[in-house]
Amino acid sequence: MLQLGTALFSLCLAAEACLRLGWWRGERFALYLLLACAALVLVFVFFPVSTLLVSAVLDEHGTLAAAEFWRRLSAERTWSLACLAGRGACGAAWNTLSLALLTASGTTLLGLVFALLVTRAKLPGRRALRLLTVLPIITPPFVIGLALILLFGRSGAVNAMLESAFGITPTRWIYGLPGVVLAQLLAYTPVAFLVLIGVVEGVSPTLEEASRTLHASERQTFARVSLPLMTPGIANAFLVGFIESIADFGNPLLLGANFNVLATEIYFAIVGAQYDQGKAAALAIVLLAIALAAFALQRLVVGRGSFVTLTGKGDAGVPRAMVRGARVTCLAIALPWTALTVAVYAMALFGGFVEIWGRDHSFTLRHYAKAFSLEWTVNGLLWSGAAWSSFWNTLAFAAVAAPLSAAIGLACAWLIERGRFAGRRVFEFLTLVSFAVPGTVLGIAYVLAFNTPPIELTGTAAIIVLSFVFRNLPVGVRGGVAALAQIDRSLEEASLTLGARVATGLRRVLLPLLRPALVAALVYGFVRSVTTVSAIIFLVSGETEVATTYIIGRAVNGDYGVASAYSAVLILMMVLAVLLIQWLVGERRLGRRAMVITGGAG
């Protein structure tokens, strides 16, 4: 506590000194916010990651070894191009890059299609479609991978049907790059949708109406007006999908077979028999370099453009409904994908109601009773089910972590987008570091960094909550940056001109306009806190066990029925949480007329 008090006192002294130097035009709130966010990112992102990465240049005795570092960094297993000559597999770095490009492109396209359908198409059941779109984001660990194996594996339901009906010999196509890409598309399309939905809603209908007034077709209006104004959201969705893909190790571990990626290589270097922390750290540096390159490319695409669509002027434009051709095209993409999502979930939840998954499909509820049974005793209600302790821990940790992650993420986004301070781009990249590092590596980094004073947190609930907060931080940051890029600074300047402080303008002007980004950050922060496993597998203890570690434990022991039943309960809980978040935050109101259907083939 003494060290914490000293740190806070030093932070206040630094803030007052900066105020005297005239930083942020003497605005105390903005400066304190900047220093607080910078301190949090440095302590809980940069410090633990750098602690782990330092071990990349050390040998087993803890001494500096540049030659050993170069050997780890340039290993043939990482950089081999033998696959191009047909002599073997490509290196993990190239596999990671190709997988990330495919996943990011696919998730961005699917996210944009669903965002357009939800906001621009007069469809019955749009709310149900929106819920189905974000459904995969609330999937507990391993469920999508196992469901895909049950559907498309050599003995899967689809292959069995094709063999019996058409005599098609079953194959193992699901294992390798195709299966991993499919699993990641299912897992990360909701992230792209959550980033893009607010951006699509924010495109000014007045600009589209002006284009149509000048005799541009619907297709030309979308391609030359609407789509360019969505560029910040598209670029941010691509970046988040790219970084999610390179950091994922669960899907490649389950479906990758001989398709090795950096995340699985790091995982086996740490938890395998070899336990080579230096190798894991060197591979983590390669991952960070790939993430940095993606970040730089995104800045190159978005950095110099102006994408403002929300200004202080009235906007009574009518949101343009999608023309028939575009609507049919989007539906042709969205409906099969939605059907696949439903099928995957049906297979995943099927196991909770059968005796033995894959063998004895007779109906039973004993798995639910084993995990979530209740008993009345002389002392009152007894939560006797084996899963209740981990369930309440998970709910408490996620309920604390999600608001913190959203608040810090949007605060960082505001500082990045509106601030003009030295090191702004470095600060922006540091907020992405926790995404670029696989969860397993981040968890071990937390153990190494916070196992001793002055910040000793290992074994406590606090370290789990902090890992949730800063692991999920980038989604709030990127969603906030994309939304702020569309909001004219004149709104805040008008607030300041009328005598409001920066904090007042932020609360009463910007925050209502940032509701889509806030919902995205809260939803993602909550559900990822509930479903993550890699970042906390080394952080939990007997008293802080969470749902994901419990599920993994049951799956490892072959108790798939309980694991599937628990997954179903978590999905129901998270659906209710998403609906509650959307109800509490509400929708952004822009004072526009209702959407109308317009004719024309475009």
- Give 1-46 pLDDT, tens digit per residue: 555 566 666 767 776 776 666 665 656 777 778 888 888 888 898 8
pTM of the prediction?
0.73
More confident residue, 145 or 463: 463
Same fold, 24-58+391-585 and 70-353: yes
Maximum separation of any 2 CA atoms in the chain, in Å? 80
Per-residue confidence at 379, pLDDT binned at 50, 70, 90?
A: confident
Burial class (CB in 10 A: 0-12, 13-18, 19+), 233: buried
Return mean pLDDT, the chain. 78
Pairing of strands 360-363, 380-382: unpaired
More confident residue, 553 or 331: 331
Superfamily of 24-58+391-585 according to CATH: MetI-like (1.10.3720.10)
Distances (CA, A) of 338 to 117, 152, 383, 514: 13, 17, 37, 28
* For residues 373-395, average pLDDT: 84
Residue 490 main-chain phi, psi, to 5 deg: -60, -25
More confident residue, 105 or 557: 105
Pick the CATH number of 70-353 from 3.40.50.300, 1.10.3720.10, 3.30.70.1400, 3.90.1150.10: 1.10.3720.10
Alpha carbons within 13 A on the beta-carbon side of 84: 6
Residue range 309-348, pLDDT digits in tens: 444 444 555 556 666 777 788 888 888 888 888 888 777 7
Measured between its terminal Cα atoms, the distance across the chain in Å is: 66
Contact 600, 218 (CB under 8 A): yes
Residue range 52-94, pLDDT digits in tens: 778 778 776 667 777 878 888 888 888 888 777 777 778 888 9
pLDDT score, position 19: 64
pLDDT score, position 302: 65
Residue range 271-301, pLDDT digits in tens: 666 677 778 778 888 887 888 788 778 777 7
Per-residue confidence at 397, pLDDT binned at 50, 70, 90?
A: very high
Q: Which region, left, alpha or beta, applies to residue 322 given φ > 0 means left and ψ of -120 to 50 means alpha?
A: beta
Per-residue confidence at 596, pLDDT binned at 50, 70, 90?
A: very low
* Domain-wise residue ranges, the chain: 24-58+391-585, 70-353
